[in-house]
Structure 1
């Protein structure tokens, strides 16, 4: 009788050609933020993350330790290796005073708050453009009220895409022709307001002749991408679906 010692099971992450790939449950080193990550989108091998944070640090490094670098609300990592990438737009918001506690904003003390969280990230279907949304009022030195777009090839902020909803954008959905934005608003009869003016170019505006509708408390507004680089309002759209965001 031939006795064969038992072998431990393991994942084959690099199988021979034609063999199915398997995965491993081994822990992988991962960069950490000093706050919360609320959104992630993987595009062309890059993992984009958004949330409420001011720094990221290498695996195993304590907060404030060696190698920690600034990333404000947005960061990008190589999806295969986990390495931090140079893309580092700064999402910020103005400081304001309010007697009511703002639980989803940075509490700076003395009733002062700053709301600059990135709540959602979505890519265009072809992966050429990345849309981010939330509470912020600026991306770097450029004013972008709660929604902005980036070119994924260059990482640059789109200089023309600058709609301005007057309240938090909590959800995004993107089709080939339309960007749907779920806008937090007090009621279904509240318009996103003068921040969405009729305009030319790729600045966008609210759907003509329509007020935002709601499912629960999530009104919506939409932007439509036209042929080439032109943008125009559209009279079509959809309601949001509870906390899952809006859908085309």
Structure 2
């Protein structure tokens, strides 16, 4: 079922939100811009780490070299000196303790050979010598939980050992996990964890050879067995996931895009439809934030040619805020621009802030290239 309707004005996108939040200003914080697409963002304390295709940050109109990785003080927008240099795209970035795990299309970081996956020191950016692997295929997603780094994408082998689009590594030793080796029959786009499970989403239809786990499945964090009670079967590709104590939130593409909320038992709680792909999702307090390349939030689930809303819509350009309780579209707007729009979202309850990355160049009509924060 699809919920629409207006609720109290709430801050979206990269907004700081309290449980009963008043409306915040629609302009984003003063933050660096970047000269290439930002594909992943992650908070750690007062710092927000950024990864993507860029080769420079833009500070006060001037370029500062940053080769696909950067760190920003989330409190004041200062570009920090943390600057490991990746020689190719960074697609996923995960913070775990004093380490930053990055995955993507690179062959080296900081002049040190690292095949598509690296562990970096959160303070210095130096690659760790104990974490070095050979990856066949492209990593697309990563998540740290249960003492493991979970990795997904189009992976076919790690260190010469066969893997079928998913793999895991021990966070303490850095070793490839020999026990956790599920198999998905198509690309994995996103990974999240919560409630004693690992959730994976993407293009697949079968997991561990089992049918009926289309595009979204839950796995045991230690054995990789499919959780049979979680079987939502979304009808379109899953691009992003976030998990809370009571729900699994997913962002989807398709003919028009959607954001859905599922119970941990796999029952659909609500679904919100847009006129373009939803590519990112995060939760802060009682609000779900969605990013993508949509321009309108549809009044019903019905879409026409190329995802056009059939039964009316509200303008929400690349960003939308939804009630976590029932999926109602909230009034706050902070429009971004571009074709691809917003590709990554992250939230920080500590800072009451949300960061976003993508291919946009303006937010609410003000120049802010490819990275923004609301707080």
Provide closer, same or farther for how the CA distance between residues 159 and 217 of structure 1 changes in structure 2, counting only shifts above 3 A.
same
**Residue 47 of structure 1: aligned partner:** 48
- Looking at CA atoms only, which structure, 1 or 2, has the larger radius of gyration? 1
The reply on whether 1:74 has 2:69 as its aligned counterpart is yes
d(CA) in 2 for partners of 1:208, 1:135: 26
Provide the rounded CA distance (Å) in 1 between the counterparts of 2:242 and 2:77. 30
Aligned-pair RMSD on alpha carbons? 3.5
Q: Is the 8 A contact 1:172 1:246 kept in 2?
A: no
Q: Residue 38 of structure 2 contacts residue 54 of structure 2 at CA under 8 Å; is this kept in 1?
A: yes
Tell me, in whole angstroms, the C-alpha distance in 2 between the residues paired with 1:117 and 1:43. 21
- Would you say how many aligned residue pairs link Structure 1 and Structure 2? 178
* Structure-1 separation of matches of 2:106 and 2:173: 20
Q: Does 1:204 align with 2:175?
A: yes
Following superposition, the deviation at residue 162 of structure 1 comes to 1.1
Please give the alpha-carbon distance, in whole angstroms, between the structure 2 residues aligned to 1:168 and 1:85: 29
Query: Matches of residues 135-146 of structure 1 in structure 2 within 5 Å?
Result: 135-146=105-116
Match of 2:240 among 214, 223, 244: 244
1:1-248 to 2 correspondences below 5 Å: 23-59=24-60, 61=61, 67-92=62-87, 116-124=88-96, 127-185=97-155, 190-192=156-158, 194=160, 202-205=173-176, 207-208=178-179, 210=181, 212-214=182-184, 216-218=186-188, 236-237=223-224, 242-244=238-240
SS of 2:80 mapped into structure 1: coil
CA distance in 2 between partners of 1:173 and 1:237 (Å): 15
More strand by share: 2
CA distance in 2, matches of 1:179, 1:209: 11
Contact 1:180 1:246 in 2 (8 A): no
SS at match of 1:91: coil
Structure 1 runs not aligned, ≥5 long? 1-19, 62-66, 93-115, 221-233
The DSSP-based 3-state class of the residue aligned with 2:239 is helix
Judged with a 3 Å threshold, the aligned counterparts in structure 2 of structure 1 residues 218 and 27 are, in CA distance, closer, same or farther, namely closer
